[in-house]
């Protein structure tokens, strides 16, 4: 069996409110690189060059190329069994559910589109989205599938050079934090999937969820994360194997309640 602490909590049938946090590990088996693996994105592309406002100001062409490549790569990958299992959870769970992803890919929504999500389901891309761009003059956000080049005209201000990737860079504020913290305070189950626990504020969500004294907390990751000791329950192995299994347990336990 994978993992070090593995249990099916007996109280899962009473779960009414879930917050799920996902990171790059959930998309790894779809073929998207994680950030901190040996050959991960941050090995070949220094953070300060491609993921900071200062890097963008210094060399916008390099930064646009980095995100153009990653945007184009989205067209060649598909959601995997873990994304589909979370979509199944949103469909089958009748309580309130917030999915917060640090990922800028669109694999969760592509899995969800194939199902009917429940009315209480909410979805937050806290680090932005590859498939969106933002005008630096007006802050307008647009769906975007093409490359951004030095010649690309902004749809609102009709200027060149004003569009940037709709990505939260280091030193910028993650998106929708009040919504996330409110859900963390109220949730009775917090699940963290495929994240190394290196980047705050996301790495602090487990402590925030535990602060109410009510939430059961579960880590699902290939290996113990930086914050694994803060979780009540940890399951270590591949997301495509462990997430479908966990969702099945959760839905069947809840149906018993
Ligand atoms: P990391 O690259 O830091 O961590 C990915 C985690 O996923 C690691 O702990 C891996 O062990 C795990 N993992 C890899 N393959 C897996 C698999 N098949 N199944 C389950 N787990 C697997 O990525 P994040 O934690 O998402 O931010 O990184 C957080 C943030 O740091 C990113 O959103 C990005 C980055 O800098 C910004 O760009 C603002």
Per-residue pLDDT of the chain (257 residues; tens, 9 = 90+): 344 454 545 455 678 999 999 999 999 999 999 998 888 888 888 899 999 999 999 999 999 999 999 999 999 999 999 999 999 999 888 889 999 999 999 999 999 988 766 666 799 999 999 999 999 999 999 999 999 998 999 999 999 999 999 999 999 999 999 999 999 999 999 999 999 999 999 999 999 999 988 899 999 999 999 999 999 999 999 999 999 999 998 888 665 54
Q: Which of 35, 238, 241, when mutated, tests ligand 1's pocket best, judged by the most ligand atoms within 8 Å of its CB?
A: 35
Q: Which residues contact 53 (CB under 8 A, 6 or more apart)?
A: 169, 171, 172
Q: Which of 45, 108, 127, 236 is catalytic?
A: 127
CA distance 46 to 56: 12
Q: Characterize 225-254 residue by residue with b for buried, 16 or more Cβ atoms within 10 angstroms of its Cβ, and e for exposed.
A: bebbebbebbbbbbbbebbbebbeebbebb
CA distance 224 to 203: 13
CA distance 49 to 228: 30
**Strand 96-101 relative to strand 189-193: parallel, antiparallel, unpaired?**
unpaired
CB atoms within 10 A of CB 162: 18
Q: In degrees rounded to 5, what are phi and psi of residue 22?
A: -120, 155
Atom of ligand 1 nearest to the CA of 170: 39
């Amino acid at each position: 069996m994978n993992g070090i602490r593995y249990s099916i909590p007996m109280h899962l049938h009473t779960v009414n409110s879930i917050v799920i946090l996902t990171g790059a590990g959930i998309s790894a088996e779809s073929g998207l690189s994680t950030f901190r693996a040996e050959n991960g994105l941050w090995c070949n592309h220094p953070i300060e060059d491609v993921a900071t406002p200062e890097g963008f100001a210094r060399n916008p062409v390099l930064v646009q190329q980095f995100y153009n490549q990653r945007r184009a790569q989205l067209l060649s990958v598909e959601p995997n069994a873990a994304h589909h299992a979370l979509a199944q959870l949103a469909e089958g769970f009748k309580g309130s559910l917030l999915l917060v992803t640090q990922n800028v890919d669109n694999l969760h929504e592509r899995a969800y589109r194939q199902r009917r999500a429940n009315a209480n389901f909410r979805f937050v891309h806290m680090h932005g989205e590859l498939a969106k761009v933002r005008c630096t003059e007006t802050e307008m956000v647009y769906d975007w599938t093409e490359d951004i080049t030095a010649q690309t005209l902004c749809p609102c201000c009709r200027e060149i050079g004003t569009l940037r990737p709709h990505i939260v860079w280091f030193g910028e504020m993650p998106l929708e934090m009040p919504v996330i913290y409110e859900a963390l305070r109220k949730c009775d189950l917090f699940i963290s999937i495929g994240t190394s626990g290196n980047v705050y504020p996301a790495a602090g969500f487990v402590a925030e969820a535990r602060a109410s004294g009510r939430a059961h907390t579960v880590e699902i990751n290939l290996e113990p994360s930086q914050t694994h000791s803060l979780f009540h329950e940890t399951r270590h192995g591949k997301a495509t194997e462990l997430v479908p299994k966990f969702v099945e347990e959760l839905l069947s336990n809840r149906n018993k309640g």
